[in-house]
Structure 1
């Protein structure tokens, strides 16, 4: 049973070459098979072996970036892409799966075969000659471009720094100052925790403007950082290649190809869903912005929004963000999170003393009554050489005696010399979210790795377990577990908890509009042949309540779309949030944590993964289709009032 990844791989190009050579032989043999054991099982076993290399390489490149390793990593990308392209275009293997359809299979096996056949067809198995060759070339090129986009984003983010004095940082508290202390002065950067502190706390409006413009113009032709990191030509090529790929397969656009593998039925359904959210949210969003403008008393610019929002929030609810932060030291937050998970899913979480790729990383074993369930490598703090954002990635699935292993990565505040890492409540929500993904991966009972955990789950359902977990952050019993003042040991008092809950939906309609803006831009960009920024301008006429600045190039670092898996699928966050809100309120109505209904969510959703039809499983758990009413309720939006 392998529970320890090789975090110091050598000769990764040669290793991948050897594995691919082995894999092609296995594929050829499987293509001649007649039974499940002859066709599927050998491929699963090899995929498990190959994943041990590719998953670690990808992970290290994201969290311990170096030019030396990246150079070798980039050489592996076309090798891997070409290998999977060879498999997906292997007509004999496709026919072997087609032959399995008429055999004796259980329900999970039937679902797997059906989905694999669909995947073959979406991957060009029906192509031949020049079309097939071109399709393979496109996939190889896209893998290289995706990595280059991510690399440019990281390097552009790391390049900008600014040394300032304490006088420049009026409005900062001790916690914010401690993060950026460098010798006798202070150094700002574009790492997310540092950037957000400037936007929220810095009284110096000129400084806020400078840092905001540096952040939103990263990796662009107007950016302050080196123009060699400009991602626009990469984005344009990615979009053009996706369109060409879709048309080769017979689709009108890439959005259609993307939706073919999701629960939703069409791009029109997606757009209608998002526009409905906009219609119901916009009236309240206008009120929220008008309130902020009246409070600020100035013509608001983008670098003013977070600053005045925090001050308005403080006035409205009688507390400020910094009042709460001391109650959430890292160790208490993690202990509380683990206890909540243990109560919700009947498992135990234990820290393991094991050397890892970085001293900040925690190694966690998850057990249940039957024994070891799986392992998580938790990498919490922001640092240079680490990709921004937060994510969960898998190292290995459940297979035979091998337990599932996940990487959970965040970019949160780190400890200082004088105090532990103290988390903002939004950062705690991020932790819950990513652990929701990890638990989806780890708690599976499915023995077929291609559909175990998150594997095989449609993209517009994969965010359900993570967003479902977020709801538990706000429960009073949860906050008692998560909070313990780092100096006094006091849990968050009722007075602050009540204010925290009262402020939960502060400017929630504005937040929904912003997410709908991203989602509408994404689906329309992949459905039209226009410049992506032109489409953004068109979408903003429907969703935006403020004029943006000419330097804004945030799309140039939008990794979810250009170096992640969310192309023509960003709507999945809102789609899954509907499911998550609906599921949470249903569980609460039936007794909450520990209830049979909470256990049903584990049994029908998490444990089943992608092995059965996802919406059918949701209906089995819930008893009826989800409603957007739950989403509006969770965001404090009165649907009847807003039309």
Structure 2
């Protein structure tokens, strides 16, 4: 790769300050331009340069968190926000873009310009001086609050630990015990892989309750951890400022403002879509819960669900998660993932032997038959100084002879002294998901950075490539590629594969209800002037089938909404899942992996990015509109009425 990230940045505040000052001069010159080359290209080139610095800073703050670096990072946020506020409110630049529409442009350039003009208008370019100043101040404050929310979530998660004995962990197998073994005994924490094991395997109901309550109350006023991490006031201020920002632009609420940049037409369309999914899923979800209650024989509490679900699943399908994990050692999983991608999209993936910011990180080069087309930095293990969850972030888009570069981050199980990292199948699904995002970014053919890869893609379309990829990791041929017992070398036996597939949709309707609950809460909390927990309680009347404990402060660590990009857009997961299921079943019917249809998906969706209308591109690939029937089928939900 010609241009690699600098993972040891110094003087980041001064660097960003110098760059943003340079950027304003670039913008000023661009306002005098009359052609695409004079207006758009200089700004694209500068944003490419600035983005390299801001993305590395953001990445390191998320995966190698330290108070010292975060203090500097926080100082850069206002500089970056102020710069983009200045650019997006520059009336002369706005007019220069509008004037370009009268010049000789190709189809992609015309589409990009129209979308850019819409972005200007949604960023307050038409506001008069006092309102423009307030709008910029709100955006600056929101960037600070977002980082504060994320930091509080991380620190409160890290603060809780508990020393336990092997007896306390009755129900654990040796692999699960190895994850929490210390020099002096055993220690559990709220890191996701550890928390999930407690919920699924610990026989001690008291221990599950303690850990659940510690986890669900993080960063709150009732949390076991330090109350200084309470995120409620941060959340309230974020919601208040979002509402004010939307109203300044003439929108009724933030939901309407958010949806103006998405494929859907209104928040009503979103709630109708979600309400329909709830209605079609709820009867099966009630049956699933009733079955679990009978099996458990106790009055189910939230900390019982994972435990008894695992036991019921084991009884119904005659296997348990721990039967699968020995077949999925990390090296084999990655090799199988890479081969699957290579077969899908006619590319090759090679591991690059270079030092990076952490020994866990792998560097991957993606090539076609002619040349290297992009690079991925893969950071997959959970660490104390690393933000929870999984995500893909872009370092740079395609620009001239510079290839796109992406970061893929997960928080999966790591190796122990005597065993390689052994992945649970859900973790493999997560890997496929994030690589779907990365391939969307890497395989772009768009020469305009503002629309290359994931740039410019509507938020309710951005999850299509990732969720589409998830489907392939259940195919038998792919599972054979992914699996090789870490001791015997045997691939996953056919009988275990059959059980895995039979169990794939276990309690899927309950899962659908939960995701609809999050999505409905999100869209309603950004459209109703109510306390966000009051909104959640109202939504739960239709979606929640089990008791909610008083300590539940789930929203206080809901990073997708308060420190990510999903505000009034969490429904995008389900909206895009409809597209993904529809796309997968179509490709499967046309020959599956390696077929012309799978290559067409790359050409029509991945390569085009945000340079053309997303739904029109989907229709070009698919030939017809997607149906929610595909989503219900993919989840094994049988209450399917005629569409």
TM range (shorter): over 0.9
Which residue of structure 1 lines up, in the alignment, with residue 120 of structure 2? 120
Match runs of 1:593-608 below 5 Å? 593-608=593-608
1:256 CA displacement: 0.3
Which residue of structure 2 lines up, in the alignment, with residue 539 of structure 1? 539
Distance 1:554 1:190 in 2: 14
Which residue of structure 1 lines up, in the alignment, with residue 59 of structure 2? 59
1:370 CA displacement: 1.7
Which residue of structure 1 lines up, in the alignment, with residue 19 of structure 2? 19
Which residue of structure 2 lines up, in the alignment, with residue 141 of structure 1? 141
Distance 2:371 2:640 in 1: 50
1:640 CA displacement: 3.9
Match runs of 1:389-538 below 5 Å? 389-538=389-538
Distance 1:335 1:294 in 2: 42
Which residue of structure 2 lines up, in the alignment, with residue 622 of structure 1? 622
Which residue of structure 2 lines up, in the alignment, with residue 267 of structure 1? 267
Are 2:319 and 1:294 aligned?
Answer: no
Which residue of structure 1 lines up, in the alignment, with residue 132 of structure 2? 132
1:184 CA displacement: 2.7
Q: Contact 1:158–1:189 at 8 Å: present in 2 too?
A: yes
Q: Contact 1:216–1:552 at 8 Å: present in 2 too?
A: yes
Distance 2:131 2:222 in 1: 38
Q: Contact 2:284–2:639 at 8 Å: present in 1 too?
A: no
Distance 1:4 1:74 in 2: 24
Q: Contact 1:280–1:642 at 8 Å: present in 2 too?
A: no
Q: Contact 1:332–1:482 at 8 Å: present in 2 too?
A: yes
Match runs of 1:15-54 below 5 Å? 15-54=15-54
Distance 1:390 1:510 in 2: 22
Distance 1:593 1:478 in 2: 10
Q: Which runs of 5+ in 1 are unaligned?
A: none
Q: Cα deviations across residues 555-576 of structure 1 (Å, max 9, x unaligned)? A: 0000000000000000000000
Are 2:83 and 1:83 aligned?
Answer: yes
1:104 CA displacement: 1.1
Which residue of structure 1 lines up, in the alignment, with residue 349 of structure 2? 349
Q: Contact 2:347–2:368 at 8 Å: present in 1 too?
A: yes
Q: Contact 2:164–2:187 at 8 Å: present in 1 too?
A: yes
Distance 2:640 2:236 in 1: 42
**Local SS of the residue matching 1:639:** coil
Q: Contact 1:295–1:312 at 8 Å: present in 2 too?
A: yes
Distance 1:587 1:188 in 2: 44
Distance 2:430 2:328 in 1: 14
1:4 CA displacement: 1.4
Distance 1:104 1:538 in 2: 53
> For the aligned residues, what is the CA RMSD?
0.9
Q: Contact 2:328–2:483 at 8 Å: present in 1 too?
A: yes
Q: Contact 2:214–2:224 at 8 Å: present in 1 too?
A: yes
Q: Cα deviations across residues 559-612 of structure 1 (Å, max 9, x unaligned)? A: 000000000000000000000000000000011111111111000000001100
1:638 CA displacement: 1.3
Which residue of structure 1 lines up, in the alignment, with residue 182 of structure 2? 182
Are 2:360 and 1:363 aligned?
Answer: no
Distance 2:369 2:71 in 1: 45
Which residue of structure 1 lines up, in the alignment, with residue 377 of structure 2? 377
Distance 1:161 1:355 in 2: 32
Q: Cα deviations across residues 344-363 of structure 1 (Å, max 9, x unaligned)? A: 00011000010100000000
Which residue of structure 2 lines up, in the alignment, with residue 559 of structure 1? 559
**Local SS of the residue matching 2:473:** helix
Moved over 3 A (4+): 640-643
Which residue of structure 2 lines up, in the alignment, with residue 162 of structure 1? 162
1:535 CA displacement: 0.1
1:220 CA displacement: 0.2
Q: Contact 1:3–1:375 at 8 Å: present in 2 too?
A: no
1:642 CA displacement: 11
Distance 2:608 2:132 in 1: 35
Distance 2:464 2:641 in 1: 28
Distance 1:553 1:594 in 2: 46
Distance 2:352 2:393 in 1: 20
Q: What count of residue pairs does the alignment treat as equivalent? A: 643
**Local SS of the residue matching 1:530:** coil
Q: Cα deviations across residues 64-110 of structure 1 (Å, max 9, x unaligned)? A: 00000000000000000000000000000000001011111101000
In terms of mean alpha carbon deviation, does 471-480 or 128-137 score higher? 128-137
1:315 CA displacement: 0.3
Are 2:335 and 1:335 aligned?
Answer: yes
**Local SS of the residue matching 2:539:** helix
Are 2:233 and 1:230 aligned?
Answer: no
Q: Cα deviations across residues 467-524 of structure 1 (Å, max 9, x unaligned)? A: 0000000000000000000000000000000000000000000000000000000000
**Local SS of the residue matching 1:576:** helix
1:641 CA displacement: 7.4
**Local SS of the residue matching 2:225:** coil
**Local SS of the residue matching 2:167:** helix
**Local SS of the residue matching 1:280:** helix
1:52 CA displacement: 1.1
Q: Contact 1:410–1:431 at 8 Å: present in 2 too?
A: yes
**Local SS of the residue matching 2:421:** coil
Which residue of structure 2 lines up, in the alignment, with residue 314 of structure 1? 314
1:204 CA displacement: 0.3
Q: Cα deviations across residues 431-452 of structure 1 (Å, max 9, x unaligned)? A: 0000000000000000001000
Q: Which runs of 5+ in 2 are unaligned?
A: none
**Local SS of the residue matching 2:407:** strand
**Local SS of the residue matching 1:169:** coil
Are 2:388 and 1:388 aligned?
Answer: yes
